[in-house]
Amino acid sequence: MDAVRTFLENQSLFALFLTIALGYLIGEINIKGVALGSGAVLFVGLAIGAFAPKSAPPALLGTLGLLLFLYGIGIQYGAQFFRGLTSRDGMKANAAACIGVIASGLVACAFIRFGIKLADSLGMFAGSGTSTASLQVAIASMKNNDAAVAYSVTYPFGVAGPILFVYVLNVALKVKIQKPAAKMLETAEIALRNENLFGLNISQLASRLPSGVAIAAVRRAHQNRLPSADFTLRADDVLLATATDRRLLDEATALCGELQPGRMASDREDLDYMRVFVSNPSVVGMALGDIRFPEGANCSIAHVRRGDADMLSTPDLILEAGDRVGLLVNRVHQATMRTFFGDSIKGTADLSFICLGIGAALGLLVGAIPLPVPGLGAFSLGLAALLLVALCLGKARRNGPFVWVMPLSANLVLRNLGLTIFLAQVGISCGPKFVATVATAGPLLLLYGAITLLVLVGVTAVCCLWIFRLPFDTSVGVICGATGNPAILAFANRVAPTDQPDIMYAMIFPSMTIVKVLFVQMAISLGAG
């Protein structure tokens, strides 16, 4: 065993990737429908770190992994984040997380009456919320490292505890969330029979159709046409209606007339369907309403397929690299449209390292700026600022020649790789600290740390599920953002396989980092007073 320990300690990269491999192997073990997934990497890292204390890779490697993860999350969910801040559920989510964070901070400070020092209470608060920014503020403001001891005790609990809490909550509530089926484009050829619609133009008809139904083409006098907004409808026109829900097409059919399948699809002389990949940088990041096709090209966008989902072509839909665009186009212009969109499969995995470098550097720069708070001193946001900057860039999509978004496939690989490296490095480095502090700090500090953590996740869950009545997948995302560690998010995505945990994490994590930092500053200021 000594030889194995020595080898691991001399080969830190081997220890890192061994942790990743074993972690994912254990994470695939399914117990009653629940598996730890990438979260198991952390627990394997703790075990390897405890066995070989000097095998931890450099901390900078873990920071780089976390940077990639946070940047990928921000770039993908920027638009949803800002929409969520103004939505009813978004405000409820932020309120629930804020109540949970403040409640846990007050409980941690209340232990001072039982003989715990202020530094230890703030260290427990920072560790249970896995907030390095809060710990940095406590160390800088108190001018000593006393808070780091309690932080190191509660940090592993701050990661593992919420995972176990979400697992128990899922089992207790018996929630079964199936991964949503991918949206597929449905079409219907509808002969216009409703006299009340004769004489209307396409824009007027669109206002009467069910929301989510679009008219992609019209057949008149044995000819398929691309309708303009002022195209006037006549009796017996055949409408090519599209939607991602068959029920909506049934409603549109009942409103307009009757189905006549095959009328348009059998004649492709004037219009044909083709699908192209978006890889041309000149169209990436542009809204469909702003796209101008080459002169003379007779073409329209029927739908956009992103990942495994089809989306209707609305004017405000922004194209991303790797999207597959369904076109209705005259065959003469097909080659022109391939050139216009790029149509390169290789481009679906490409990303701009210039934009990645600029965005990450800008986020790190903002995170290093000290923010003064009157009466409380100054603090910096650290990597939380990186996430905020990435969210802003993700919302902007592009600025001039700089395309901030990246293909979905590249984004997933980038952030999952970053998360895995971060979990492995943190687990290995925390292993010896965890064992040592548990052995020396005594059961009392462990008990107080566990209570602080339980208040954080418990109060947040109660506010989300029973006070604000948010859906379960939204609630676990709020818990992830309030606690902060991406390992919890990785497990939440297994329990609730929708996009809500990611969206809520991106929304809650930056704001709660600020709340935690301000709480520590206020506690130190009041304690000194």
Looking at residue 183, its pLDDT comes to 74
Q: pLDDT tens for residues 51-93? A: 898 888 988 888 888 789 889 888 887 877 787 778 898 899 9
Q: Is the residue at 303 inside a domain? A: yes
Residue 403: CA atoms inside 13 Å, Cβ hemisphere, count? 20
Q: Is the residue at 494 inside a domain? A: no
Q: How far from 73 is each of 244, 262, 284, 317, 507, CA to CA, in Å?
A: 26, 43, 19, 20, 10
Q: Is the residue at 26 inside a domain? A: no
Pairwise CA distance, residues 405 & 393, whole Å:
8
On the 0-12 / 13-18 / 19+ scale of CB atoms within 10 A, 520 is buried
Determine phi and psi for 409, rounding to 5 degrees. Answer: -65, -45
Confidence of residue 442 (pLDDT cuts 50, 70, 90): low
CATH number of the domain within which 343 lies: 3.30.70.1450
Confidence of residue 31 (pLDDT cuts 50, 70, 90): low
Looking at residue 136, its pLDDT comes to 63
250-264, 423-437, 445-459, 503-517: range with lowest mean pLDDT: 423-437
Q: Is the residue at 425 inside a domain? A: no
Pairwise CA distance, residues 412 & 423, whole Å:
16
Pairwise CA distance, residues 266 & 260, whole Å:
12
Please tell me the total count of domains within the chain: 1
Q: Is the residue at 378 inside a domain? A: no
Pairwise CA distance, residues 291 & 340, whole Å:
11
Looking at residue 258, its pLDDT comes to 92
Q: Is the residue at 322 inside a domain? A: yes
Quick count: other Cβ atoms within 10 Å of Cβ 32?
Answer: 6
Q: Is the residue at 206 inside a domain? A: yes
**Angle of the 472-483 helix axis to the 146-173 helix axis, nearest 10:** 170
Q: pLDDT tens for residues 296-342? A: 888 889 889 887 778 888 888 888 888 899 999 988 899 999 999 99
Q: pLDDT tens for residues 445-464? A: 778 988 999 999 999 999 99
Pairwise CA distance, residues 20 & 41, whole Å:
6
Q: pLDDT tens for residues 376-407? A: 566 677 777 888 899 899 888 888 888 888 88
Find how far residue 452's CA is from the centre of its chain. Answer: 27
Q: Is the residue at 335 inside a domain? A: yes
Domain span including residue 221: 186-348
Put the strands of the sheet holding 214-220 in their side by side order. 223-225, 214-220, 238-243, 186-192, 257-259
